[in-house]
Structure 1
Amino acid sequence: MTLTIGLSRMDRVRPLADGRVRVGSPETPVDVEVSLLPTQALFNQQLVDHTFDCVELPIATFVRLMEEGDENPYVALPVFPSRHFRLSCVFVNADAGISSPADLAGRRVGVPVFDMAAAVWLRGILQDHYGLDRVAPVYVTGGLEQARAGEEHPQFYPPQFTVERRGDASLAQLLADGEIDALYTARAPSTWPSDRVTRLFERPQEEELGYFRRTGIFPPMHLVGVKRHIAEASPELIPQLYRAFRDAQDLARADLWDSTALSTMLPWQLESLRESEDLMGGDPWPMGFAANRHTVATLLDYLRRDRLIEQDFSPEEVFAGPAQDFLLAT
């Protein structure tokens, strides 16, 4: 068997690409072809052409696919290669008079992709922890850095939200020009930092750490999916792939620990790792179902309250399919 794997360019998965971690066992190895792509290009390609057998997927989009039942082409693994505290990703026009989340009520807030996990988490967190009703802003969609006539991938806009589409200018420029007041984004806009664009939270790390201490959640943005027909034909692949991703992440941490030659451009790389693990009480990147059940349940709640999904899925259902007993025991 040759299995194609598509992933973003991240240290947690690089050991799979460079061959330090193999899928399968020495007796029954699985040949893999790993491609590392820019994140949005990977998603756009996979959600249209379904290129890869095993692939990193936007987690909110995967849950939306679950409503298609047997038509959902993927089985999910409790592997979350991308996580991010998104309170650092809310940007505001410096002249808009916005100093707190409550000030966003009635304002024009840009969002490149309405159902992206960054926006889902932010709408939920800002409502539950800062009192901003998720429907209070006017949401403006468009390309982050370039004008975009269409959508990154098919979108559904629940009727309780007020949504405007701007295809004539980038959201980054609209924010700097004051045509939108704020921006929820996965990637910092090119117009920041500047005297025209600032962050909503002056010290976002403090806010994000406070959120983590209250909830225990380090929000996942993506998960790993396997094509359903492959998983059903070869269910032994599911535990093999899970263990490979786990081992790759363990190696990525070991690389950060190795100070012989720094693997990143962070001058205090090892100290940053130790500080993060101390502040977060252990492993900041937990794998497996048990350690992430509450987190997944919270995301499902946010998606329902956004009305991006209608069904009352349980976290267990997210990982339904071949080898489910193994996945739920992780």
Structure 2
Amino acid sequence: MSRPGGTHPAAPLTVLLGDYPHTRPLKDGTVPVDGVDCRYPACSPLPPAFARMVRDLAHDICEMPMATYLQARDAGIPVTLLPAVLVGSTHHRSLTRLPETPQLGPGDLVGRRVGVRAYGQTTGLWVRGWLQEEYGVKSSDITWVTTEDVHVAQYVNPPYVERSRAERVVDLLRTHDVTAAVLGPKAIGGQGAGLVPLVADAESAGQAWTDRHGTVPANHLLVVRDDVLRNRPDAVLTFYRALKKSIETTADERDDSPAGRAVTAGWSASLTACLEIAGRYALEQGLITAPVDVAAIEAETAFLDK
């Protein structure tokens, strides 16, 4: 309680983060956010929280998928990117089929139907990006069958996207409504268990992509509400420094796989390249309406790394 004539204590920061080795030290207090009362609401699964953030600005700081962030920025939603990658990996193994169906390659998908959770899902962004880059298959060459809506309410799917009543992407495969399906990292080991990648040597293909581009595809980033950044920049800076320390102190818990290397905090050539490529892919796929100005994004929070 504040005393008469005294100052009111600052309101807690609500911070929505997934449960990862590199975020747990923040949540359990092992890495403190000095002088800032941070509240970490639980949410599982995470995607509904992403939708609430871009539709209702439900949290002060929030984990956010790459594609959702790019669409939110394109739509003028008042959030600012904080330079941290919480989840990432390569995605050549994410394009899958049933093992008993005829073998086909990514280039054979022209004119076919492919399942994906939502057209704005970040894994789908990366898969469609390498499909066009490496096989010449454009987004509009395929009918994308979805089981969920995109997070950003203002976005309207292109005409080659169809909404299904199926609950899960794998159900689209099992009912033979689609020829192939895009599954995110968690789904690959869950509902996607036993499915076969269309790319024969998916791990090598993913590594070739990272070698070519000098970065690992980021799936989940971090954003802060613009009003929070404007009104409480010191609190945001303190939280960001604690997150950076949490990521650095858990480095030995991550291996040298793309997923392990993806987790980073701070502006770098790798993060800049990742945003530039994702922005180009998003524009090619009709997820956004204008080119992404990565230099402007970086300038918004350059002070964090000084």
Q: Same fold (TM over 0.5)?
A: yes
Alignment partner of 1:51 out of 53, 58, 64: 58
CA displacement at 1:155 relative to structure 2 = 6.6
* AA in 2 matched with 1:111: V
CA contact (8 A) 1:60 1:115 kept: yes
* AA in 2 matched with 1:75: T
1:6 maps to what in 2? 16
Alignment of structure 1 residues 274-289 onto 2, 5 Å: 276=256, 283-289=261-267
Alignment of structure 1 residues 174-213 onto 2, 5 Å: 174-186=172-184, 187-188=187-188, 192-194=192-194, 197-213=195-211
Residues 123/110 of structure 1: CA separation in 2 closer, same or farther (3 Å cut): same
CA contact (8 A) 1:96 1:178 kept: no
CA contact (8 A) 1:59 1:221 kept: yes
Per-residue CA distance 1:172-228 (angstroms, 9 max, x = gap): 12202322101112122856444xx42213432222112212222211112111121
Alignment partner of 1:163 out of 158, 161, 164: 161
Aligned equivalents of 2:302, 2:214: Cα separation in 1? 25
2:4 maps to what in 1? none
Aligned equivalents of 2:166, 2:124: Cα separation in 1? 22
1:298 maps to what in 2? 277
2:215 maps to what in 1? 217
Alignment of structure 1 residues 8-23 onto 2, 5 Å: 8-23=18-33
| 1:35 has 2:41 as partner | yes
Aligned equivalents of 1:294, 1:216: Cα separation in 2? 7
2:67 maps to what in 1? 60
1:318 maps to what in 2? 297
1:104 maps to what in 2? 109
Moved more, 44-53 or 207-216: 44-53
Structural RMSD (CA): 2.6
* AA in 2 matched with 1:249: I
CA contact (8 A) 2:15 2:60 kept: yes
Which secondary structure does the structure 1 equivalent of 2:37 belong to? strand
Using the aligned pairs only, state the percent identity. Answer: 24
Aligned equivalents of 1:68, 1:155: Cα separation in 2? 7
1:134 maps to what in 2? 139
| 1:307 has 2:286 as partner | yes
Which secondary structure does the structure 2 equivalent of 1:66 belong to? helix
Moved more, 10-19 or 51-60: 51-60
Aligned equivalents of 1:88, 1:153: Cα separation in 2? 27
CA contact (8 A) 1:98 1:104 kept: no
CA contact (8 A) 2:66 2:221 kept: yes
Aligned equivalents of 1:68, 1:49: Cα separation in 2? 14
Per-residue CA distance 1:255-314 (angstroms, 9 max, x = gap): x2xxxxxxxxxxxxxxx82xx17x89x954333222311111111111111122122221
Moved more, 11-20 or 167-176: 167-176
Aligned equivalents of 2:177, 2:74: Cα separation in 1? 36
* AA in 2 matched with 1:101: P
Aligned equivalents of 1:20, 1:189: Cα separation in 2? 30
Aligned equivalents of 2:28, 2:70: Cα separation in 1? 30
Unaligned runs of 5+ in 1: 144-149, 257-271
CA contact (8 A) 2:91 2:127 kept: yes
Aligned equivalents of 1:325, 1:251: Cα separation in 2? 23
CA contact (8 A) 1:23 1:244 kept: yes
* AA in 2 matched with 1:314: D
Moved more, 238-247 or 7-16: 238-247
Which secondary structure does the structure 2 equivalent of 1:293 belong to? helix
Aligned equivalents of 2:234, 2:298: Cα separation in 1? 15
CA displacement at 1:158 relative to structure 2 = 5.1
Unaligned runs of 5+ in 2: 1-9
CA displacement at 1:152 relative to structure 2 = 5.9
Aligned equivalents of 1:170, 1:46: Cα separation in 2? 23
Alignment of structure 1 residues 224-263 onto 2, 5 Å: 224-254=222-252, 256=253
Residues 284/224 of structure 1: CA separation in 2 closer, same or farther (3 Å cut): closer
Aligned equivalents of 2:262, 2:87: Cα separation in 1? 12
CA contact (8 A) 1:54 1:224 kept: yes
* AA in 2 matched with 1:19: G
CA contact (8 A) 2:280 2:292 kept: no
How many pairs are equivalent? Answer: 292
Moved more, 74-83 or 40-49: 40-49
CA displacement at 1:41 relative to structure 2 = 3.5
Which secondary structure does the structure 2 equivalent of 1:223 belong to? strand
Aligned equivalents of 2:150, 2:216: Cα separation in 1? 28
Residues 30/108 of structure 1: CA separation in 2 closer, same or farther (3 Å cut): same
CA contact (8 A) 2:87 2:262 kept: no
Aligned equivalents of 1:179, 1:228: Cα separation in 2? 42
